[in-house]
Amino acid sequence: MLAAGLAFTPAGPVSGEPAVPEVGLERLDRGAAARPHAVTGWYVDAGALVVSVRGSAAGVTEWARGLGAGPVTVEHVAEAPRPVWDLVSGQPITSGGTRCTLGFNARSGTNRFVLSAGHCVRAGTEWHGVGGYLGPAVGSSFPANDYGLIRVASTAATSTALVDRYSSGSDVTVTGAATPPVGSSVCYSSPVSGWRCGSVTGINHTVCYPQGCVSQLVRVNACPEPGASGAPVVTNPGSGTTVRAVGLVSGGSGSCTSGGTTWVQPIAEPLSAYGLTLVTG
């Protein structure tokens, strides 16, 4: 049924109109590129062909008549629809020529944020994700630490607790945070490496990059790849569907061809520093 509280204006019969609204629907579909700017959509409801309009309905009747779509009812709507997309850990984020990986989604009150590597976040100002604009960088700590914060400004982007496993299986869900001991199995996800797993081989490591040294990192024997910076590191789900957040990929040595080491910024530090809670499922 048509939604209550909306204004409807019958457009009247059109010469040569088709008898079946579904035919008119197909004709509007074919003529979509020429629709008036205010038209936000159309559909058949209770035997009527309805055209949704935000603002002025000028030109709507003429557009439908020109397509031979038949009589239409104009539905005035308060807002235009917009695409929505999910913020999923392990998927790419970019700012200009800088490409990193979305670490974890987090909240502080009603404000939403994305955590990634500090050396990455500080290299950009306005960030984008797979579905469009994400938001501005609002904080970073590097060197000494390696975490950064992006505020989610897009109302079309939905913060999720999901981690993309790419070709290795269905997404897994973050249920909280963990500090795994040496010997524990962990995995990370990034668009360049996919889903990679290894073992924790050390904790409280200090690693010196050209820009400075970062302390209290976790060492993992999963191979690194350029572009994986900020990637989410989680407990190995095995055959399950849930994981706990361990940290963010900071850097590494070696490669996935020769084998190597990945260093991880523990997640507890940025959560505490920024007063955040993880988005969990």
Active site residues: 119, 146, 229
Residue with tokens 């205010």: 38
β-bridge mates for residue 262, sequence order: 220, 252
Specify whether the CB–CB gap between 148 and 120 falls below 8 A.
yes
Q: What's the burial of 122, exposed, middle or buried (CB within 10 Å: 0-12/13-18/19+)?
A: middle
The candidate with the shortest Cα–Cα distance to 251, out of 277, 278, 214, is 214
What are the backbone dihedrals phi and psi of residue 67, each rounded to the nearest 5 degrees, phi first?
-90, -5
Residue 71: CB partners within 8 Å, gap ≥ 6? 10, 11, 12, 13, 14, 17, 48, 49
How far from chain centre, in Å, is Cα 106? 13
Specify whether the CB–CB gap between 230 and 249 falls below 8 A.
yes
The candidate with the shortest Cα–Cα distance to 154, out of 231, 93, 239, 198, is 93
Cα gap 85→93, rounded to integer Å: 13
How far from chain centre, in Å, is Cα 273? 23
